[in-house]
Amino acid sequence: MSEKLQKVLARAGKGSRREMEAMISAGRVSVDGKVAYLGDRVEGTEQIRLDGHPVKIVDVKEQICRVLVYNKPEGEMCTRKDPEGRPTVFDRLPNITGSRWIAVGRLDINTSGMLIFTNDGELANRLMHPSHEVEREYAVRVFGEIDEAMLQRLRHGVQLEDGMAKFKKITYRGGEGRNHWFHVVLTEGRNREVRRLWESQDVQVSRLIRVRYGDMTMERRLPLGGWLELGLKDVNYYRKLVQLPPETQSKVKVDEKRIDNTKSRKIRRNVKKHQQRRQTAKKR
């Protein structure tokens, strides 16, 4: 059976389905020597090239879906390469054979916390798409005068430059003076949406941390700059969440995402080694 070209490319780990659609539209993809067009379908026997390089077509039954959770520090870019040489979220991730990691959405340079990666472009696309209404929860510290009328406006919707937006939930978590902590929940991932919603009320965001994606929260023992690969049970939680069939195999031997003290120390050592290598490279 034929499939849409962008779906096949996404499954091959070349990027999210949305990114593949943009590449096809830009004329960067060819099928059997002819420039491909958005809407083209393939059987799986064709020779597909991206920027002139052959793409190994991966059968949906052969690919093992993998998912990482990364605790992003502030100061890292959600891009593969930064022209200014700033660190990126991909720098610390493990190598993956025959595919590549795809970030599920983005966090801006001043935002830290839970960032998900997968090698399955279709899973990434569905988790990001607003039609699936996957919840993202953020801890946010704001500076300014807050009253109940303002919170009601943020719950019911305010007009931003790219349309109406609102928080699904807002929970007060304490504070002193004009500094307040809230937990807020969204079901879409528009650019800088949390910050822009608060700024629409003349309130400044001074700290922003993503703490949950779907029903899965960030492991407390996962240090900044550390990553953890999810076991089969958790991978299938995300697949079920967006109506994808369950996986039967995993690269993780133990189906347990909890981090004990020993594992946490090992991750911290790896994070420290990476920081030392980067500092050495800068001096050169």
| Domain limits, the chain | 3-54, 67-130+216-283, 135-213
Report, in angstroms and rounded to the nearest whole number, the Rg of the chain calculated over CA atoms.
21
Q: Quote the strand ranges of the chain, DSSP E.
A: 3-4, 29-31, 34-35, 41-42, 48-50, 53-54, 67-72, 102-103, 112-118, 136-143, 158-160, 163-165, 169-176, 179-186, 204-213, 216-217, 227-229
pLDDT at 256 over 60: no
Instruction: Give pTM, 2 decimals.
Output: 0.80
Q: Which CATH architecture has domain 3-54?
A: Roll (3.10)
Instruction: Give the pLDDT of residue 275.
Output: 74
Give the whole-number percent of the chain exceeding pLDDT 90: 61
pLDDT tens per residue across span 48-68? 999 999 998 877 667 789 999
Known catalytic residues are 108
- Which CATH code fits 67-130+216-283? 3.30.2350.10
Which of the four pLDDT bands, split at 50, 70 and 90, describes residue 268? confident
Q: Which CATH architecture has domain 135-213?
A: 2-Layer Sandwich (3.30)
Q: Calculate the alpha carbon distances from 94 to 13, 109, 158 in Å.
A: 15, 21, 41
Q: Do 3-54 and 67-130+216-283 have matching folds?
A: no
- 3 state SS for 16-70: CHHHHHHHHHCCCEEECCEECCCCCEECCCCCEEECCEECCCCCCCCCCCCEEEE
pLDDT tens per residue across span 203-230? 999 999 999 999 999 988 899 999 999 9
Alpha carbon distance 189, 128 (integer Å): 7
